[in-house]
């Protein structure tokens, strides 16, 4: 069984993630021929590691009143944002699937998780959505069961910023009494929810 990962009901992004500000900080450590903003915008379709260009100090503000929610994991702009507790209990499990990037949020240490693992889609069974005859995305995404069933965490080239996981992550999340996410079962390996 695989699951689509969503923020908990009535929660919002925990950090105020400004792509342009982050890109400016990354650009300093990148080759001049590489556009940091393009790299950030394409992360959902590429597997670009950022740890080599991530600065020692990357600061963010909490988004609105999200500090009060005290969530362990939150999805923000396609990134997983982990509290220190969530990082400590899940880092070994998730390390093969991406990278943790240390940040400071108004003085609190947190970690952004950059997922670097794709799940293989079955495009023949995936349903493209059209508006005025033009493709705008997918209504349904079908995954290749043999590819994704053993992956603890993965993303899809077809779903934008969504993340998916298997039962191992769901069980670990519950066992450590983490909060901030909900997991929607993906029946028959075909995701039919909202993107």
Contact between residue 37 and residue 20 where contact means Cβ atoms under 8 Å apart: yes
Residues 160 and 98 in one domain: no
pLDDT at 105: 94
Question: Are 73 and 160 contained in the same domain?
Answer: no
Mean pLDDT of the chain: 92
Chain segment 132-144, per-residue pLDDT in tens:
999 888 889 999 9
Q: Considering the entire predicted model, what is its pTM? A: 0.91
Strand-pairing partners, residue 165, are: 3, 153
At residue 73, the pLDDT reads 95
- Which residue segment(s) compose the domain that 101 sits in? 12-114
List, for residues 8-61, the tens digit of each pLDDT value.
Answer: 887 778 888 889 999 999 999 998 889 999 999 988 888 899 999 999 889 999
Q: Are residues 109 and 177 in the same domain?
A: no
Q: Please check whether residues 83 and 169 belong to one and the same domain.
A: no
- Domain end residue (candidates: 114, 145, 174): 114
- pLDDT single digits (tens) 86-136: 999 999 999 999 999 999 999 999 999 999 999 999 999 999 889 999 988
């Amino acid at each position: 069984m695989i699951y689509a990962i969503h923020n908990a009901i009535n929660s919002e992004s925990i950090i105020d993630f400004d792509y342009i500000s982050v890109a400016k900080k990354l650009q300093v450590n990148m080759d001049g021929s590489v556009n940091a903003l393009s790299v950030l915008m394409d992360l959902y379709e590429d597997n670009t590691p950022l740890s080599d260009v991530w600065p020692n100090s990357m600061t963010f503000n909490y988004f609105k009143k999200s500090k009060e929610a005290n969530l362990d994991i939150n999805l923000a702009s396609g990134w997983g944002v982990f509290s220190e507790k969530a990082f400590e209990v899940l880092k070994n499990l998730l390390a093969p699937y991406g990278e943790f990037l240390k940040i400071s949020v108004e003085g609190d240490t947190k970690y952004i998780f950059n997922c670097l693992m794709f799940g293989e889609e079955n495009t023949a069974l995936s349903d493209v959505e059209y508006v005025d005859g033009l493709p705008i995305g997918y209504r349904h995404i079908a995954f290749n069961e043999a590819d994704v069933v053993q992956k603890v965490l993965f993303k899809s080239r077809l779903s934008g910023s969504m993340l998916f996981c298997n039962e191992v992550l769901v069980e670990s999340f519950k066992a450590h009494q983490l909060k901030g996410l909900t997991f929607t079962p993906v029946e028959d390996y075909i995701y039919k929810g909202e993107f």
